[in-house]
Structure 1
Amino acid sequence: MTSTATSAATAAPLKIGVIIGSVRTGRFADKVARWFLSQIGGRDDMEVHVIDLSEPALVEELKLTLDAHEPQPGALTLAQRIAGLDGFVVITPEYNHGYPASLKLAIDYVYSEWRAKPVGFVSYGGMVGGQRAVEQLRQVFAELHAVTLRDTVSFHMAWEKFDEQGRPDDADGVAKAATVLLDQLAWWGLTLREGRAARPYDG
């Protein structure tokens, strides 16, 4: 076993935030998120932390930012949650060739806490499976000094791709895509965590 492999095998699990970007009532994101969490939940090299932007506490916090107010004292803010994580997977729909306003607000509300951390994407939508939203998000995260992963998981015509139990039609194909994404996330997450520890990133 190489030294890199040995390091990976003995390292503490990466703390990965799974960010659910849609806040719409009746959103399709719940089906996609449940499926993805079942994929990442089976890994022993990752500790999953769900950040659902529809959580009442997060909705209230982000609403306060629009009014130029501060979160309630003692509350664990979104920035604090992001700061404690090693990497992220963003689950996003595509709305009118873009990503949700709720996701943009949440990303912009946090700043240095994103730096030198990997970000992967699971997208869904119509004919292009949310990829236009992902391409826009790559530009946003690049500005924040985050590293976006090349490979994604996308669901084209998503509402036709899941059965009533929330299982994707092409279960094997999308599971393989998720494995590729998560393997890349593990490599980048470990590499950047070690890099931040050895040489704090100041941008």
Structure 2
Amino acid sequence: MSYHGVHRRVLDGEARSWALEALSGPVRAVRHPLGFVCLPLEREGGEGVCLHLWSDTLVHAENTTSQIHCHSWDLVSHVLYGQVRNVHAVVTDARDDATHRVFEVVSAADGDRISPTRRTVRHSTGLVEAFGPGETYTLRAGRFHSSVVPEGGQAATIALGRGRPGSRDLSLGPLGAGPHHVSRQALDARETELAVRLITAHLT
């Protein structure tokens, strides 16, 4: 089903049934550096649909920059269960008193190429939004934020992305970190089955 088809199902209140249908077929899962497991389900052109799962039951990927990032695409996120906090970051350019460097993240099939830019910044916490089951929020490309699940909490979302021309995927990281490559680790068959069971158990 296309981005538009999934979005329509979400708007019509059929997000849970769509997720169960999607999980009834073959799926793959990868550990995402931002702390969740990603199950990519649809991708066409600059549009995509994934399920995101936060659970301490599954091993997390290592993050080499930070949780604060911005997308090159407009996000629509629908919470299937649990609570997700969308924490906006106020990012200010800085030199002598900078605390972080901005890194560009270019994703490919073999992982993420992470490159430092010349931009150094400070940041503070801005608006904190909390969303629960059945709620949907949007985030425009280029807005720095982090997605936070309460410690020990379980949550899953449908994430719909639509690319915005001219935008880049960025992350805040250590001032002195250099360019590097991070491989996306696929879950094996046992862990993928566990991820599917965790989601379906909450939806049925």
Higher strand share: 2
User: TM-score with structure 2 length normalisation?
Assistant: 0.25
Q: Which of the pair is proportionally richer in helix?
A: 1
TM normalised by structure 1 equals 0.25
Higher relative contact order (CA 8 A, sep 6+): 2
